[in-house]
Amino acid sequence: MKKEDKKEKTKKYSNKEKVSKTEKKKHQKGFLWFLGVSAMSVALLLCCQFFFANTITGKEKFYDNTKINGIDVSGMSVAEAENVVLTDMLESRKDIEIELTCKDKSWTLSGNDFEVSNKIQPIVAQIAKYGKDGNFFQNMRKAKQIKAEGKDFQISYTNVLADIDEKINDIIEEVEQESKQASLIFQPEAEEVFAVDKGQNAVLVNRDQLYQEIDNALKTSKKVKIEIPIIEIQNQIDLEALKDRVLMRSEFSTSYATSSSARKNNVKKALESFNGMIVEPGETVSFNETTGPRTEAQGYKNAHIIVGGVYVDGVGGGVCQASTTLYNALILADIEILSVNHHSLPASYVPLSFDAMVSGSYSDLVFKNTLDNPIYIKTSADENNVTVQIYGQKFEDGMSIKKRAELVKILPHNGDKIVADTKGEYSNRILYKGEYLRIKYPREGYESKGYLEYYKNGELVEEKEIRHDYYLPQDGVVMEGVETPAEGMIIPASDVKIIKPQKVTKANEDAVKNKLEKTNPSEFNP
């Protein structure tokens, strides 16, 4: 190859390299220009977004064509929108009238009953943020949509009226009622001793529904009438279960046919204190506390009472027959007795160990309801008898209770004791030696026990000793005059028979047992 050709060829290659380097530089410049334009575009977008954020979202301005309660707030700040909305609500508040009804009752609330609370400010602020929590393009799209279609936000009066919750709650309290269980009405003087109170159903207000209905109504009208939505919970009545709680558990009567009118008065008056009494489970009752002081001021009269084994007149005489009648009815109803005492002398209207002596100062009849349900006490009296009935839950099927008295032993007396009337207490009746006046008869004493017998379908299944008593014997007392009769004076024969100690035999013990098992009244009625 010639030198010229080689040079030419070298020259061509050299020119190609120059062209290639030039083009490369051109490409590099184009790429850098593209990067610059892209960066400027991004910067522009950021600036637009920054500008948009500052003009719309940053200052919490409302989008165009935005309304609150029909008021145009476009471009307003939160404070400006709050002011115009508040002004409108204050003005239209006076036209509000809410009538709430429930069955035959109604309540009316007017707008003047309320103030518009400061709750409106955060609500308006929250509305202002609508469509501004996305990215730039999402927010721009939301703004465009609102501008084209419009958006009307509603603020309910129930959200901003001050005290509306309190006023509506007051109405709700009048409407709502607690469930009241069915119960029994004890009416001891009526032919039907028990009546059934069916109680009442529970009534609850559906609060969420009520507020929602008020909200919805106030959106379309300022005058609304709404029936309060209630939920009624039916009270379940088990009449059979109620009846099982008020069956007669026991009945006991004693006779006072031969008693004086004063004594009858006292017996009846004491028992009247218990007539209609309801004793709840676990409750304890005292006879003395229930009757209160047995004084003339309380309507009690003078009648025979026992003092030191002797019958004397005293206010309230006879109340022990009331306590004894009640006591026997209680034990036959299987009611627990916490305190009971016997008399110093046996009472003829009940067997031994089944009397209940009461005294305001030292002796009481106390009982406790240990059943699962209340007991009900009814008392009654006529001219011949007093009666106590105990009502409560029924006994187990086939169960019944009887009482039994047992005379353990007769305790003999020591006969009469002759005492000289040295104080002259009886000088108007006896004066001289050999003149006698009986003050007190001697009486035998008794050791006795009381039992309760439990029967199941007529068969004795349990026997329980509930009493062990000692009625102490009483010696007789005979007073004798103390003056010596003048010589030749004849002292008339006394009709006082001096009684000597009596020997207890099997025959008279059996006779005593037979007599004491009966409940016929006699002169010995404490």
379 beta partners:
388
What residues contact residue 490 under an 8 Å CB cut-off, 6+ apart? none
What residues contact residue 81 under an 8 Å CB cut-off, 6+ apart? 62, 68, 73, 124, 127, 128
| Other CB atoms within 10 A of residue 231 CB | 11
Q: What is the pLDDT of residues 303-355, one digit of tens each?
A: 666 555 555 566 668 899 999 999 999 999 999 999 999 998 898 899 999 99
Mean pLDDT, all residues of the chain: 83
Q: What is the pLDDT of residues 14-57, one digit of tens each?
A: 555 554 555 555 555 555 555 554 555 544 554 444 444 444 44
Summarize the confidence of residues 185-198 as an average pLDDT. 87
What residues contact residue 497 under an 8 Å CB cut-off, 6+ apart? none
307 within 8 A of 314, measured Cβ to Cβ: yes
Place of tokens 């009048």: 174
What residues contact residue 336 under an 8 Å CB cut-off, 6+ apart? 367, 368, 369, 370
* Phi and psi at residue 203, to the nearest 5°: -120, 120
The predicted structure's pLDDT at residue 132: 87
Q: What is the pLDDT of residues 390-417, one digit of tens each?
A: 999 999 999 999 999 999 999 999 999 9
pLDDT exceeds cutoff 60 at 85: yes
How far apart, in whole angstroms, are the C-alpha atoms of residue 228 and residue 439?
A: 84
Lowest mean pLDDT among 112-116, 177-181, 295-299, 400-404: 112-116
Summarize the confidence of residues 496-522 as an average pLDDT. 71
How far apart, in whole angstroms, are the C-alpha atoms of residue 2 and residue 6?
A: 6
Q: What is the pLDDT of residues 126-154, one digit of tens each?
A: 888 888 888 888 888 888 898 888 898 98
DSSP E strands in 51-176: the ranges are 66-68, 71-72, 97-102, 105-110, 151-153
- Backbone angle region of 162, left / alpha / beta, with phi > 0 → left and psi within -120 to 50 → alpha: beta
- Cβ burial of 306 (10 Å; 0-12, 13-18, 19+) is buried
- Backbone angle region of 129, left / alpha / beta, with phi > 0 → left and psi within -120 to 50 → alpha: alpha
